[in-house]
A and B are shown apart, each in its own frame.
Chain A
């Protein structure tokens, strides 16, 4: 019996080894580009990796912070991040490039039993007051004032945040910082912030963690990346129209997020780092962000430099990685061509092999 067992184990070992060997032979001669970072971008990189043939792409959903730090240390070639590097980070790492790759947004979602098909109207200051606990109940006068004629329940609001450091938190807190002075002064923005002292505040891990918590917790409110549209709908959550800088209530959609991005097209600096939350414009959705890849200017070998330039150029091309096939499937918005030609391609051009 022992002999049989050993035989089976040996067979399994041989099978695994030959499978690995075959996989490697299939990719022989190709450069491998390693990617790590943003969980929001992970499904996109997975799709790209499956279909891109000029190089082998390996992907890892580790979080934006880890992605940036691994790109800086050289552990991976591409760090994917929902937020660009901060000024102090750029100063201590001047050899890193922040390259915009797509546009993303998020829902402010809620679970109001029986009312999730109604789009409530919420504003930055009201959401800030919900998160800091000064608005306690759904039928608070401040919420009712934004939603005349809607019968809101007298139930305690349960606000949810991403307890893991997250680009989604950065997007959300940036909107609140720009639309509410108190929030800007006390809490600020970032992938993790000085959260208000509110005993009702709950943390959940990942977008899927937020969605499942909200689905089982009536009267909760939270923020969910637009790439999770399908899951938000499956969980039966509602989502709000938000008051933008012009004072209009705007629902999230490709068009309204694009409107927000359009407002900044002429102001994007050469280094690509710009926050586009709370944009002006009558029909701009106030939560929007560029997604980034963080790449070293000087790559370890010229073969890797050539491969990563080729891959990133393909990734932002409307006939390549930014086609409707990828972007539509994952509810991301492709960069406008003017941004690609004016900002992104010059940034990609700065990548080179060792001198």
Chain B
């Protein structure tokens, strides 16, 4: 191998190696928590740092403050619910927008819209969070949530107390807005290429635009799945905008859509400072295990997303 080839190969390995080192470090840090908390880490929703002023006790070989127990069920639930609702809201909108852009709108509008999508995808998440706090939450609290409860209250998760504007609904809406540009730009690209490849023929054969749209949607199933999974990866790990709007629930599972919630990324950020005060290091270790869990979930979702998209792209080339 020539020197320059060697340099390039090393350069390409370095980032991968770094990610593996970070992962290894997290697992190493998380090990005491895995031993101490066991499976309860995933089945309990109580996060109790224990009495950190008391003399630490030793459990299964690791120092821990008396009374401490760490469970992430609430954070795990929050991450999954807010991401799922966000996707449920944004994905249909993305599909609709992509088909409309590809079939109905003229070239100039299309150019403006697609560059706007790029811009929206680049807005820092704290801006979305700020909008959530300043505008969305008061609106949800005073208008939307009471209306939703009145209309849909017969469905279990839509009834019950409304404490504030922060919570599942606020975080899900902010996330939906944040991932919309990501899924739309992916689905839109494939809508344009498929339109040129196949749908234009259908239009030429006399299909209406409505029928062509339906055809386009059925042809894009995989791209929609791929785009959805990629935006899921983004929603799962989003921290700042969720931290600002989730209501910071702790030690209590949500009772309805208006309840405060907490997610893995938000809890990790919020709980970090007090972890440094814990003399046993067990709080920090449990946060590391939380980090490992979040990392695995988001890596899995984007890997599946890329695999689905990759297969589609490959087949497109072969045909």
Q: What CA separation (Å) do A87 and B216 show in the bound complex?
A: 67
Residues of A within 8 A of B249 (CB): 199, 201-203
Which chain A positions have C-beta within 8 A of B127?
A: none
A197 interface residue per 8 A CB criterion: yes
Q: Which residues of B contact A252 (CB under 8 A)?
A: none
A196: chain B residues at CB < 8 Å are 251
Return A265 CB to nearest CB of chain B, in Å.
Answer: 23
Chain B residues with CB under 8 Å of A62's CB are 273
Residues of chain A within 8 A (CB-CB) of B274 are 65, 164-166, 190-192
Main secondary structure of the interface of A (DSSP, over half): loop
Per-residue 0/1 for B48-66: is the Cβ within 8 Å of any A Cβ (1 yes, 0 no)?
A: 1111111110000000000
Residues of A within 8 A of B260 (CB): 199, 201-203
How far, in angstroms, from A69 to B260 measured CA to CA in the complex? 31
The segment from B20-28, B32-40, B93-101, B275-283 found at the interface with A is B275-283
Q: How far is the CA of A69 from the CA of B275 in the complex (A)?
A: 10
Whether A127 is near chain B, meaning CB under 8 Å from some CB there, is no
What A residues does B165 contact at CB under 8 A?
216-217
Q: Which residues of B contact A68 (CB under 8 A)?
A: 276-277
Q: Which of B52, B165, B255 has the most CB of A within 10 A?
A: B52
Q: Is residue A52 within 8 Å, beta carbon to beta carbon, of the partner chain?
A: no
Tell me the bound Cα distance from A243 to B253 in angstroms.
Answer: 33
Given contacts A164-B270, A203-B262, contact A194 B46 (CB under 8 A): yes
Question: Would A216 and B252 be within 8 Å (CB), given that A194-B50, A205-B243 are in contact?
Answer: no
Identify B273's interface contact among A158, A164, A212, A216, CB under 8 A: A164
Interface status of B141 (Cβ within 8 A of chain A): yes
Q: What separation, in Å, do the CA atoms of A61 and B197 have in the docked complex?
A: 57
Interface of B is mostly: loop
A65 touching B276 by the CB < 8 A rule?
A: yes
Interface size on A, residues (CB 8 A): 44
In the complex, A204 has a CB within 8 A of chain B: yes
Let me know if A199 and B49 touch, CB within 8 A: no
1/0 per position for B250-261, CB-CB distance to A under 8 A?
A: 111111000110
Do A165 and B52 touch across chains, with their CB atoms under 8 A apart?
no
Does B159 reach chain A (CB closer than 8 Å)?
A: no
Q: Which residues of B235-270 have CB atoms within 8 Å of chain A's CB atoms? A: 243-244, 247-255, 259-260, 262, 269-270
With A190-B49, A197-B252, A203-B270 known as contacts, the answer to whether A88 contacts B55 (CB < 8 A) is yes
Give the residues from 59 to 85 in chain A that come closer than 8 angstroms, CB to CB, to chain B.
Answer: 62-66, 68-69, 83
Q: Verify A156–B277 contact, CB threshold 8 A.
A: no
Q: Given A69-B276, A165-B275, does the pair A202, B166 have CB atoms closer than 8 Å?
A: yes
Is B104 an interface residue when CB atoms closer than 8 A count as contact? no
- Is B51 in contact with A188, judged by CB distance below 8 angstroms? yes
Identity of the chain B residue whose Cβ is nearest the Cβ of A86 in the assembled complex: B53
Chain A residues whose C-beta falls within 8 Å of the C-beta of B48 in the assembled complex? 194
Q: If A164-B273, A203-B260 touch, does A194 touch B67 (CB 8 Å cutoff)? A: yes
Cross-chain contact of A200 among B50, B52, B161 (Cβ < 8 A): B161
Residues of A within 8 A of B253 (CB): 199
B248 near A158 with CB under 8 A, answer: no
CB distance from A283 to the nearest CB of B (A): 29
Q: Which residue of chain B has its CB nearest to the CB of A189?
A: B53
Contact check, A165 vs B273: say whether CB atoms are below 8 A apart. yes
Please tell me which one of the listed residues A63, A89, A197 contacts residue B279 in the complex, with CB atoms under 8 A apart. Answer: A89
Residues of A whose CB lies within 8 Å of any CB of B are 62-66, 68-69, 83, 86-89, 92, 156, 158, 161, 163-166, 188-205, 209, 212-213, 216-217, 220
**A165-B276, A195-B250 known; 8 other A-B pairs, CB under 8 Å?**
A63-B273, A64-B273, A68-B277, A83-B277, A161-B248, A201-B251, A203-B247, A203-B262
Residue contacts A-B, CB under 8 angstroms, 15 given: A65-B274, A86-B52, A89-B279, A163-B250, A164-B270, A166-B273, A190-B49, A190-B52, A190-B274, A191-B273, A194-B48, A201-B260, A203-B260, A205-B243, A217-B141
5 closest Cβ pairs, A-B complex: A203-B248, A165-B274, A63-B273, A192-B274, A163-B248
